[in-house]
Amino acid sequence: MEKILRDGAFTGETHIVTGAAQGIGNCIATTLAAHGAQLVLVDLDEGRLAEARDAMAPHATVKPIIAKANVADEDDVKAVVASTLEATGAISGLVNVAGITRDSRITKKSFDDFKAVLAVHVHGTFLLTREVAVQHWHPLFKANGNQPLTDGVNRFIVNFSSVSARAGNVGQVDYTAAKGAIESVTKTTAREFAGYGVRVNAIAPGPVDTPMLAGVDENVRNAMGRATVLGRIAQPSEMASVVAAIADPKLFGYCTGQVFHINAGMYLA
Ligand SMILES: NC(=O)c1ccc[n+]([C@@H]2O[C@H](COP(=O)([O-])OP(=O)(O)OC[C@H]3O[C@@H](n4cnc5c(N)ncnc54)[C@H](O)[C@@H]3O)[C@@H](O)[C@H]2O)c1
Tell me: the pLDDT tens digits for 27-43?
Answer: 999 999 999 999 999 99
Q: What is the pLDDT of residue 1?
A: 76
Q: Is 175 a catalytic residue?
A: yes
Calpha distance 117→55 (Å, rounded): 29
Which of 114, 104, 125 lies closest to 200 in space, CA to CA? 125
pTM of the model: 0.98
Helix (H, G, I), strand (E, B) or coil at 242: helix
DSSP per residue, 215-231: TS-HHHHHHHHHTSSS-
Q: Which residues line ligand 1 (CB under 6 A)?
A: 18-19, 21-25, 43-44, 70-72, 97-100, 120, 160, 162, 205, 207-208, 210-213
Which domains does the chain possess? 14-262 (3.40.50.720)
pLDDT at residue 3 in the model? 87
pLDDT at 129: 99
Residues of the chain with pLDDT under 50: none
Residue 268 CB burial class (10 angstroms; 0-12, 13-18, ≥19): exposed
Compute, in angstroms, the gap from residue 266 CA to the centroid of ligand 1: 20
